[in-house]
Amino acid sequence: MHQFLLLGSLWLLAASPALSILQRPTGSPGPPHLQYLLEPLHATVHTQRGATATLPCVLRALPRNYRVKWSKVEPANYRESIIIITNGLYHKNYGPLSPRVRLRHSHRYDASLTITDVALEDEGRYRCQLVNGLEDESVSLVLHLEGVVFPYQPSNGRYKFNYHEAKRACEQQDSRLATYQQLYKAWTEGLDWCNAGWILDGTVHYPIINSREPCGGRLLLPGVRTYGARDKQKDRFDAFCFTSSLQGRVYFIRGHLNFKEAGQACHNHGAAIAKVGQLYSAWKFSQLDRCDGGWLADGSVRYPITTPRERCGGLPDPGVRSFGFPSKELRTYGTYCFVG
């Protein structure tokens, strides 16, 4: 039996005096004073997939022989990846972001970073560092993508993924492994799921709104429950995937189609059979609402509900409902197609 801790409970935060140790004691030093860099007005920049986003970094003054280095903190390995380095006159780009980043440089004190065609993997923490001998200083910003988290398991049942398989499975469904912040936000918005799943940093969690016996018992408070860090190779769980807005459209084709016929029907319309992440994105951002089960690319059958009603599953909350993974020979469902 796995042991777990309870994190992120709103009730716990309200009730536990022990958490007061997280507050900074009176009189303790605050963040170091910035001599050259302006503190950003907003530490979080909100965007969506496919958009252009700018992370602000502005200098008060230009010291001699300075450089500005932008880097991204990678939660999966706790390292910083260099993105761009500039001395004010010249710059050099590094890494996979290289083709999509540039300095805004709207004036001589502006070292802000602009990212075009924002991708799912761009979400996270960035650092703008002024490198100036002994007087180095930096500011941190978070790029936040508006999106949706969904639990995912394969056709052969629950708890089949090691970490690397979970990561690959999410990517195959037009998504990526969720971060803890994304999972926590999804829980505050109503995600209630009893199966534990991998997230991006290699830890395992599950979000519970309604405490119940099969999910740790009725006595445990609601919250994002955690198994902590697990063996990425040996341990097996489900996955929590994250996707953002679509650069395209999902639509339904009615019919009595088996899985192969469903794919062909989409192809005949110049489209592809939709992936799970694309259906969730269409439900979240385009309010796609259909009572019809349809095939998806992974062989599952699902349907999106934004206005719950009795004849469409009877559940009280909006969501993407699932019929699981029926036999691919079954001619019972239509299909959801995606055109980009």
Other Cβ atoms within 10 Å of 185 Cβ, number: 18
- Please tell me the total count of domains within the chain: 3
Q: Tens of pLDDT along 250-263?
A: 999 999 999 999 99
Burial of 94 (0-12, 13-18, 19+ CB in 10 A): middle
276, 310: one domain:
yes
141, 191: one domain:
no
Q: Which CATH number characterizes residue 217's domain?
A: 3.10.100.10
160, 119: one domain:
no
Hey, what amino acid is at 124? G
Does residue 47 sit within a domain?
A: yes
Q: Which of 243, 265, 282 is the last residue of a domain?
A: 243
Confidence of residue 7 (pLDDT cuts 50, 70, 90): very low
Residue 129 to residues 49, 76, 83, 84, 194, Cα–Cα distance (Å): 26, 22, 12, 11, 42
Rounded to the nearest integer, the mean pLDDT of the chain is 89
Does residue 310 sit within a domain?
A: yes
Would the pLDDT of 30 be above 80?
no
189, 126: one domain:
no
Share of the chain above pLDDT 90, in %: 79
Q: Tens of pLDDT along 284-326?
A: 999 999 999 999 999 999 999 999 999 898 889 999 999 999 9
251, 330: one domain:
yes
Confidence of residue 133 (pLDDT cuts 50, 70, 90): confident
Q: Tens of pLDDT along 213-252?
A: 888 888 888 999 999 999 999 999 999 999 999 989 999 9
Radius of gyration of the chain (CA): 23
pLDDT of the residue at 55:
98
277, 251: one domain:
yes
125, 181: one domain:
no
What is the SS3 string spanning 273-293? Answer: ECCHHHHHHHHHHCCCCCCCC
Q: The pTM is what?
A: 0.83
Burial of 260 (0-12, 13-18, 19+ CB in 10 A): exposed
Q: What count of Cα atoms within 13 Å lies in the side-chain half-sphere of residue 45?
A: 24
Task: Name the residue among 294, 298, 339, 297 with its Cα closest to residue 321.
Answer: 294
Q: Which of 243, 272, 301 is the last residue of a domain?
A: 243
Of the two residues 158 and 77, the one the predictor is more confident about is 158
Q: Which of 130, 145, 160 is the last residue of a domain?
A: 145
pLDDT of the residue at 13:
30
pLDDT of the residue at 195:
95
Does residue 23 sit within a domain?
A: no
Does residue 171 sit within a domain?
A: yes
161, 84: one domain:
no
Residue 98 belongs to domain spanning: 37-145
> DSSP class of residue 259?
H
Other Cβ atoms within 10 Å of 76 Cβ, number: 14
| Highest mean pLDDT pick, 77-86, 178-187, 206-215 | 178-187
